[in-house]
Amino acid sequence: MDVTLAAGSAWTDPACPVARAVDLVGDRWSLLIVRDAMDGATTFTEFHQRLGIARNILTDRLRRLVEHGILDRRAAADGRRHTYRLTEAGQDLFTAVVALRQWGERHAFAPDEPHSVLLDGQGRELPRLHPLGQDGAPLSVETSRVRKTAPSDPGAAG
């Protein structure tokens, strides 16, 4: 899938996958819409009621998420409304949402402060996500690095 920004926009950092992801879904409302879609919301009204977001902002964010291929918009059975469903790209955000959730559980709440909990299909809390290297060893900021890539040569073969 070829993901682009709206006309007149530019990537914050064209060679950085993190920057591109933030450009596409990094604002507060977009990620919360994706979260609620993962939790079963499918209509404008459901998103509006769950989030308490202004209607014009919700309209804009839904439009952008559809344009960027994160949500798919279809006419509802009644023909008067639309439903929204996560695309494959939207579903691929699950791990990122879980990582943000787990970070929030550890760093955004007081120790005894109540919060929602994500459960697996058997009703158990999800284990903490840990990135692993090719050898299965845990990775961290200290044990990983970014390799910058050179722009591809449009005239190169293969």
Q: Could you list the residue range(s) of the whole structural domain that residue 82 is in? A: 17-102
**Domain containing 93 — which CATH number?**
1.10.10.10
Give tens-digit pLDDT for 124-150: 999 999 999 999 999 999 999 999 887
The total number of structural domains that make up the chain: 1
Q: Cβ atoms within 10 A of the Cβ of 63, count?
A: 13
- The answer as to whether 154 is a domain residue is no
- 23-72 tens-digit pLDDT: 999 999 999 999 999 999 999 999 999 999 999 999 999 999 999 999 99
Judged on CB neighbours under 10 Å (0-12, 13-18, 19+), 157 is exposed
Band (pLDDT 50/70/90 cuts) for residue 90 is very high
d(CA 123, CA 141): 32
How many residues make up the chain in this entry? 158
pLDDT at 152: 64
Angle between the N-to-C axes of helices 44-51 and 28-38, in degrees from 0 to 180, rounded to the nearest 10: 120
Stated pTM of the model = 0.84
**Other residues' Cβ atoms within 10 Å of the Cβ of residue 112:** 5
Q: Does a structural domain hold residue 114?
A: no
